[in-house]
Amino acid sequence: MKKNLIILFALIMIQTISYSQNNPLLKEYDTPFKVPPFEQIKNEHFLPALREGIKQQSEIIEAIVNNPESPTYKNTIEAYEFSDNLLTEVRGVFFNLSSANTNPELQKIASEIAPELSAHSDNILLNEKFFSRIKEVYRQRATLTNPEQVRLLDKTYNDFVRGGANLDDTKKSRLREINKDLSLLRLKFGENLLAETNGFKLIIEDKNDLSGLPESVISGAYETGKKSGMEGKWIFTLQNPSLIPFLQYSDKRELREKIWRAYSNRCNNNNEFDNKEIIVKIVNLKLERAKLLGFNTTANFILDENMAKNPENVFDFLSKLWKPSLEAAKREAEELQKLIEKEGGSFKLQPWDWRYYSEKMRKEKYALDEEMLKPYFELNKVKEGIFYLSNKLYGLNFKKLDNMPVYNEEVQVYEITESDGTHVGIYYMDLHPRAGKRGGAWSSSFRSHYKTIDGKDVPPVITNVCNFSRPAGDLPALLTFDEVETFFHEFGHALNSLLSKCGYRTVAGVPRDFVELPSQILENWLDEPEMLEVYAKHYKTGEVIPKELIEKLDKSSKYGQGFTTVEYLAASILDMEYHTLKEDLKITPNEFENKILEEKYGLIPEIISRYKSTYFNHIFNSGYTAGYYSYIWAEVLDADAYELFRQKGIFDKATAESFRKNILEKGGIEDPMVLYKKFRGAEPSIEPLLKKRGLK
């Protein structure tokens, strides 16, 4: 190996050597399985570590650019792939904590480092000398035979082109400004949403105002009051485990309206946390960036790399679902209005009434309500069920690890191994809401799987973060069926990351509208009788959920699909309409929503979009720009894929092995449709989805 190449790789390898005895982020982790040493990490460690990561990668890029040797795959593409080892490791810790366990100091650091990270990325992607070396290797593409190497080369080349490498100096300068501004606007959007979500409390002092609420919900609200220093009062928040059951069961219509309005008006109150102006800026800046890069709209830019390929295909897909779903929702609304009148109500059905009367209708039609199910979905039993399923399908084993470094005392840690004992990875679980955690549920990584530059496997450290119902009083954490579904879903993402065999982190990433397949397919098992018998056991008696309840659950599963599908599709449409604008947004987000959803698509007033613009975190502060449709796009894939399990047996080892080999392990090594057809044998059909949702 030539001297320059040796020096270059030495620069990459020394990123694990200690740079500071006082900063645990800047030395090799002396922890079990080399997980982050959370107890040692302090807020003041992050900025120096992130800046050191930027500095190290910049030095390696400089060495690549100034290497007098001719560009090769190894000294340019592969060297670049491993140039950010330290920065990626530190970012993984920082941004995961910023989402799951944040505080004002972390938020301040995020605001300070965001423009620096944006500038660092631009410094790389807009480096003409570096891009000329990448182009030279790209011209030699035909000499590569390893599919993963080909994919890394293609991805690297395309990232530079899409990052503005072909622009002139004036446009490059403007692109830098746009990227910097967007990085700060996104952060502000998320911070505003967290503040508004945490800022509302429905405080109940009169027991009569608890009418209709199940005892478990009342106990949870009492515990919240006690923790908030208001013992003797009941507090309801805008977190789903508190909000949703209140809307489902509270007999106090005026209180349902109050909490619903607080939820649906988040960041839309013309105060310091208002997101309307931020949204206009984000939408317009993203459009300007897309046009700079040669695309007519933001959606064209984003979808160019997705399975959907272009906005027309997405709109065509959504339109096939919108009409039957809206008709079903209208029928449901009429049914609920009749129930209101039957009970002597003289008011028109409103959004804050829907869940309440829908729950009553479910009970009337199927003699079933959520409270009948919850005693059978104790959180630890559900977790055992997920582990059981992973073992049945893939032979995985889970061992709880005590005395592991954690960032919050509630976090649990597991080692995952193959059936022969081979280490797979470390899995962190963080399952309950708290003030420092953003809403929702997600999967992420403190460290992704990859191979080092000298070929050694680096096992992953993966996390699931959720906001599930807490234990309350004498009750353990009892989940709603929706929360069980979310648990299975997010673990599917974690499983995908844990089982990845990609040697390069860049190649492990998959298009947004394919990434939901591994998560959503897992949801299909949760209500299978064979699975329910394993994990759906009464928390007091240990009795397996009765067959009659399973039958009621099955019969009621398609009830309310009009509402569920329409509120989701409305958000997907809103996302696409924002990002297919060809000119700047000149009206307020509220006006835009009304124009699109009510006037253009005919959304009925009893239903609102699952996410209204001002709290649509997926598209304004996350990676789902022009991609929120991907959940139902992937549902076509998962419904079609699960048909094969139904045909072969839901625990069929050969089918599971094929899914693992062709989908879970492959990441983005090949085109998603190619991978899917290798598993399924054909392209997916939409029929299983329509049947599953009761829309056909």
Same domain, 256 and 205: yes
Q: Identify the CA nearest to 573 among candidates 605, 523, 615, 608.
A: 608
Burial classification of residue 150, based on how many CB atoms lie within 10 Å of its CB (0-12 exposed, 13-18 middle, 19 or more buried): middle
**Domains in the chain: how many in total?**
2
Q: Where a domain ends, among 166, 189, 214?
A: 166
Same domain, 96 and 29: yes
- Alpha carbon separation from 153 to 64, 72, 133, 134, 372 (Å, rounded): 16, 11, 12, 8, 54
Q: Is 57 helix (H, G, I), strand (E, B) or coil?
A: helix
pLDDT at 8: 62
- Residue 8 inside a domain? The answer is yes
| Helical segments of 613-665, H only | 617-620, 630-648, 653-659
Whether the predicted pLDDT of 9 surpasses 70: no
For residue 687, name the pLDDT band (cuts at 50, 70, 90).
Answer: confident
pLDDT digits (tens, 9 = 90+) for 162-171: 999 999 999 9
Domain around 41: 3-166
Average pLDDT over residues 70-96: 97
- Whether 126 is covered by a domain: the verdict is yes
Confidence tier at 485 by pLDDT (50, 70, 90): very high
Cα–Cα separations (whole angstroms), residue 318 to 248, 325, 579, 630, 667 = 28, 10, 15, 11, 26
Any domain includes 381: no
Domain assignment present for residue 32? The answer is yes
- Confirm whether 454 is domain-assigned: no
Q: Are residues 160 and 204 in the same domain?
A: no
In a domain, 301, yes or no: no
What's the rounded Cα separation, in Å, for the pair 236 and 476?
Answer: 19
Asked if 152 and 207 sit in the same domain, the reply is no
Q: What pLDDT sits at residue 21?
A: 64
Which residue has 């560009």 as its token pair?
71
Same domain (yes/no): 21, 112: yes
pLDDT at 685: 82
**Looking at the structure, do residues 64 and 13 belong to the same domain, yes or no?**
yes
Same domain as 225, residue 148 = no
For residue 2, pLDDT over 60 is answered with: no
- Same structural domain for residues 57 and 155? yes
| Percent residues over pLDDT 70 in the chain | 97
Token duo for residue 178: 């746009």
- Report if residue 584 sits inside a domain: no
User: In this structure, are 13 and 157 located in the same domain?
Assistant: yes
Whether residue 397 lies inside any domain: the answer is: no
Residue pair 144/150 in contact (Cβ under 8 Å)? The answer is yes
The reply to whether 239 and 112 lie within a common domain is no
Catalytic residues: 490
User: 10 with 155, same domain?
Assistant: yes
Domain boundary among 218, 240, 264: 264
pLDDT of residue 691: 77
Check whether 1 has a pLDDT greater than 80.
no
Among residues 232, 247, 264, the one where a domain terminates is: 264
Regarding whether 103 and 222 lie in a shared domain, the answer is no
Say if residue 663's pLDDT is above 90.
yes
What CATH code is carried by the domain that includes residue 13?
1.10.1370.40
